[in-house]
Structure 1
Amino acid sequence: MADEVWHAGDIGDLRVTDTIKKIKPLRAVFGNIDNHEARLEFPLHNRFMCEGVDVWITHIGGYPDKYNIAIREEIKKNPPKLFICGHSHILKVQFDKKLNLLHMNPGAAGIHGFHQVRTMLRFEIDGDKIQNLEIIEIGKKG
């Protein structure tokens, strides 16, 4: 189980987030496939503190040494401890030694896109520690 659900964009249908919100608190951002309704409900960037961890969620963020040009200066100037993005739909967890941050892309849990296996990540935040990271495979797409 989880205390909250964090969504890194490409929601698609707002029924997805409406359903999640009935079960758990939700923090989300809109993605490039999302329509104007999703863009009105969710921000492009969601930066917040979770216990002692500075978290930044955005959809198109890039990867360590290849951050998206739109966020590159801000992430260098004021790096979070945990940076979560989506867009590629490729599950990847990587530590950025230069900025001392943990980068996560949970992959994709939906049925649309080029990914073959639906994935998500679950982890714990305890004070200023990010721990007990799990990769959850939901199954094959379709």
Structure 2
Amino acid sequence: MKKILLLSDTHSHIDAQIIKYIKQADEVWHAGDIGVIEVADTIKKLKPLRAVYGNIDDKTVRAEYPLDQKFEVEKVSVWMTHIGGYPNKYNFRIKEEIQINPPKIFISGHSHILKVQFDQKLNLLHMNPGAAGKHGFHKVRTMLRFEIDKEEIKNLEVIELETRS
């Protein structure tokens, strides 16, 4: 069993609130717009990190992390990218491939809108953790936490860090 912390759109920000949850996870997944490489380095010092770069990430972040991460944890296939869309409105770049070979979990960031939605057509769970950083239009900083046990995804929690004024 793996305890996963999923975050996105930190936009160069990491603080004690985020670190508290990182320490509780087995792995951290970052769905892009890391901001500066120091954010990823801070996470990697604490826990294993799987990440993708986002549209605001510079060449240093892009050199370290790919546009897409496709991997398997326990018996669950995962596809993580920053700009991926959501069920019935997937990004044109991934639309054909996701229909041909859908993962069990599809993760995207970018929108700063937390959304977890089951795609009945493709039989996959779409997850967007919202935004954990302080830059952007979102009112509440959010992340997701869940467990993967063999082929089961369970104990999904929304983490609200703070309401922004």
TM-score, normalised via structure 2 length: 0.85
The SS at the match of 1:118 is strand
Residue aligning to 1:44: 67
TM-score, normalised via structure 1 length: 0.98
> Which aligned runs of 4 or more in structure 1 are off by greater than 3 angstroms?
none
The total of aligned residue pairs comes to: 142
Residue aligning to 1:22: 45
Residue aligning to 2:87: 64
Shift of 1:116: 1.2
Shift of 1:141: 3.5
Where do residues 6-21 of structure 1 align in structure 2 (5 Å cutoff)? 6-21=29-44
RMSD: 0.8
Shift of 1:140: 2.4
Whole-Å separation in 2 of the counterparts to 1:2 and 1:77: 32
Structure 1: 5+ residue stretches without partners: none
Give, as a single letter, the amino acid of the residue that structure 2 aligns with 1:29: V
Match of 1:105 among 114, 119, 128: 128
The structure showing larger relative contact order (alpha-carbon pairs under 8 Å, at least 6 residues apart) is 2
| Deviation readout 1:111-130 (Å, 9 max, x if unpaired) | 11111110000000000000
In proportion to residue count, which structure has more helix? 2
Structure 2: 5+ residue stretches without partners: 1-23
The answer to whether 1:133 aligns with 2:156 is yes
Percent of matched pairs sharing the same residue: 70
